[in-house]
Amino acid sequence: MPSQPAIQDRVQAKREVRRIKNLPTVPGIVAKISRMVENPETSAAEVGRLISQDQVLSAKVLRMANSAFFGMSRKISSISQALVILGFEVVKGLVLTSSVFDMIQKSMAGLWEHSIGCAAASGAVATLLGRDDAEEILVAGLLHDLGKVVLALNLPEEMNLVREKVKNGKVLFYEAENEVLDFDHSELGQWLAEHWNLPESLAEPMRLHHRPEKAVLKPECTAIVHIADIIIRAKGFGNAGDLLVPPVSMAAWEMLGLRKTDFLPILDILEPKLSSLCDITSID
Amino acid sequence: MKRIPIDKAVPGQVLAEKLTRHDGVLLAGQGSAITEGLLRMLARMNIDSVVIEEEESRSVEEVLEDFRRFTQDLDARFVRIEPQSVLQALKKTMLYLAEKDRDETLALINNPVSASEGSAEPPQGAAESVNA
Ligand SMILES: [Fe+2]
Ligand SMILES: [Fe+2]
């Protein structure tokens, strides 16, 4: 056993999670959109009107929709246009991201950059694989480490212990989390995803991006986010808490049918996107 | 080259990509310089970013030093996964791209005019050596 486990066993660890009182609430507008979208009668224009009521939020969403992420050849100038072009799920993901942006930025230096980098890399891998749901996978990459925000905001003492362990440059963040807490940010992410009622395309990558071979509902999306996390860490873009490249899940790699020569075209797609993402690293 | 928002663009910067209107009509060719007039036109057309050639302000020594630091950081990031061949391929690819970038930058410093015109196709061997 490590010398200073804050929590002795798993049962107590689970209790610890429940101790977290101020779990961030789902942004009201995201909950509203979810309810609207569940209703098949809802039109894009109605959802568009709801989002447009919040001008700051719509500006942030449009800024992301027009960023290098999506590489649109035409400017998206309204929320309803974004809904038509990018789809409900993607716009919902962008609304969610805009709503938690401040939280991500405040919790850990470099995590926002890691998140948008992983999003761009997820998009690049999905594009190379010719997937038509590349935008949705990109949003999953954007939110994959949200569990770290819960950790930073709610368990600051444990977070400091984790940081200490990571300092030597040999331990991955999630390994340190497991030593200190007996769970890691992927479980916190799952918990948040359930609490917020997020779709599986976001929830499963959040829960399983470090163990993608366990994914059953969205295995390919989860595998792509897993590979994208590795690629963006290899590039040294942003800071996910540690500066190490984690091992790749060979099961995920083989399931996607990727080859070693695919890294070059993936990085070719990714590079220009990263250099132009600087304009959304501060979206206020 | 890098993409910059239109409010950061100034006359004299060189376009690294041709600029087209949303319907595809050419506004300014690759390699042409940004002018006051072009900036006004872009603002009217709601074009909010341009891709420009980056000016190289580093010296040869600084470029080599940056490259050395990059390889050091790269080794540190990959310290845990030496045996995984997929990750070795990723590391090799990163290194190949950094070397290419270093060589292009050095060429640009040594010969500012011709380097921006004749940037060659990437050598075929690069992708293959990654696979080896
Ligand atoms: Fe993670
Ligand atoms: Fe990550």
Return the CATH number at B34: 3.90.105.10
The closest of A142, A161, A178 to A64, measured between CA atoms, is A142
- Tell me: the pLDDT tens digits for B95-113? 999 999 999 889 888 876 5
Mean pLDDT, range B84-91, rounded to an integer: 94
pLDDT recorded at residue B124: 43
B128 and B66 part of one domain: yes
- Tell me: the pLDDT tens digits for A235-264? 999 999 998 999 999 999 999 999 999 999
pTM: 0.79
B49 and B66 part of one domain: no
The closest of A66, A68, A67, A229 to A145, measured between CA atoms, is A229
pLDDT by position in tens, chain A (length 284) = 444 444 445 555 555 565 665 566 666 777 787 777 777 787 778 888 888 888 888 888 888 888 888 887 788 888 988 988 888 888 888 888 887 877 888 888 889 889 999 999 999 999 999 999 998 899 999 999 999 988 888 888 889 999 999 988 889 999 999 999 888 999 998 888 887 878 888 999 999 999 999 999 999 999 999 999 999 999 999 999 998 999 999 999 999 999 999 999 999 999 888 876 765 555 44
Residue in chain B closest to A268 (alpha carbons) equals B97
Alpha-carbon separation of residue A111 from A33, A115, A143, A162, B96 (angstroms): 26, 6, 10, 15, 27
pLDDT recorded at residue A6: 42
Task: Check residues B17 and B120 and name the one with the higher pLDDT.
Answer: B17
The closest of A111, A160, A149, A200 to A23, measured between CA atoms, is A149
Q: pLDDT grade, residue B121 (50/70/90)? A: very low
How far is residue A252's CA from residue B50's CA, in Å, rounded to a whole number? Answer: 38
B124 and B77 part of one domain: yes
Percent of chain B with pLDDT over 70: 83
In eight-state DSSP terms, residue B124 is T
Whether B65 has a pLDDT exceeding 60, the answer reads: yes
Q: How many CB atoms lie within 10 A of CB A144?
A: 30
pLDDT recorded at residue B88: 94
* Residue that terminates a domain, selected from B40, B56, B72: B56
B71 and B35 part of one domain: no
Cα dihedral angle (A106, A108, A109, A115), rounded to 10 degrees?
-100
The closest of A106, A105, A114 to A236, measured between CA atoms, is A114
- Tell me: the pLDDT tens digits for A272-281? 888 767 655 5
Whether B118 has a pLDDT exceeding 70, the answer reads: no
Q: How many CB atoms lie within 10 A of CB A9?
A: 10
B11 and B47 part of one domain: yes
pLDDT recorded at residue A192: 84
Mean pLDDT, range B114-120, rounded to an integer: 45
What total number of domains does chain B contain? 2
B4 and B18 part of one domain: yes
- Best B54, B77, B78 member to test A by mutation, with max A CBs in 10 Å, is B77
* Residue that terminates a domain, selected from B37, B56, B75: B56
Per-residue three-class SS string for B53-105: CCCCCCCHHHHHHHHHHHHHHHHHHCCCCCCCHHHHHHHHHHHHHHHHHHHHH
B15 and B45 part of one domain: yes
For A279, how many CA atoms within 13 A lie in the half-sphere containing its CB? 22
Backbone dihedral region for residue B93 (phi beyond 0: left; psi -120 to 50: alpha; all else: beta): alpha
Task: Go through the domains of chain A in sequence order and give each one's CATH number.
Answer: 101-281 (1.10.3210.10)
- Based on the number of CB atoms within 10 Å of its own CB, is A130 exposed (0-12), middle (13-18) or buried (19 or more)? exposed
How far is residue A100's CA from residue A51's CA, in Å, rounded to a whole number? Answer: 15
> Chain A residues with CB inside 8 Å of B84's CB?
247-248
Provide the 3-class DSSP secondary structure of residue B12.
coil
- Tell me: the pLDDT tens digits for B12-50? 888 888 888 777 778 888 888 888 888 888 888 878 888
Ligand at minimal distance from the CA of A209 is 1
B36 and B22 part of one domain: yes
Give the minimum alpha-carbon distance from A67 to chain B in angstroms, rounded to a whole number.
10
B62 and B116 part of one domain: yes
Residues 6+ apart with CB under 8 A from A10: A182, A183
How far is residue A48's CA from residue A82's CA, in Å, rounded to a whole number? Answer: 9
B66 and B11 part of one domain: no
The domain in which residue B92 lies consists of: 58-132
Q: pLDDT grade, residue B129 (50/70/90)? A: very low
| Dihedral of alpha carbons A69, A147, A137, A274, sign | positive
Provide the 3-class DSSP secondary structure of residue A211.
coil
Q: Can you read off the two tokens belonging to residue A225?
A: 């986010």
Q: Can you read off the two tokens belonging to residue B96?
A: 């190949």
The closest of A224, A243, A226 to A234, measured between CA atoms, is A243
Residue in A73, A247, A260 nearest the CB of B130 = A260
B129 and B65 part of one domain: yes
B126 and B83 part of one domain: yes
- Kindly provide the b/e burial profile for residues A165-192, where b requires at least 16 CB atoms within 10 angstroms of the residue's own CB: bbeeeebbbbbbbbbbbbbbbbbbbbbb
pLDDT recorded at residue A4: 41
Q: Do A245 and B85 touch (CB under 8 A)?
A: no
Give the minimum alpha-carbon distance from B6 to chain A in angstroms, rounded to a whole number.
11
Q: From the CA of B53, how far away is ligand 2's center (Å)? A: 32
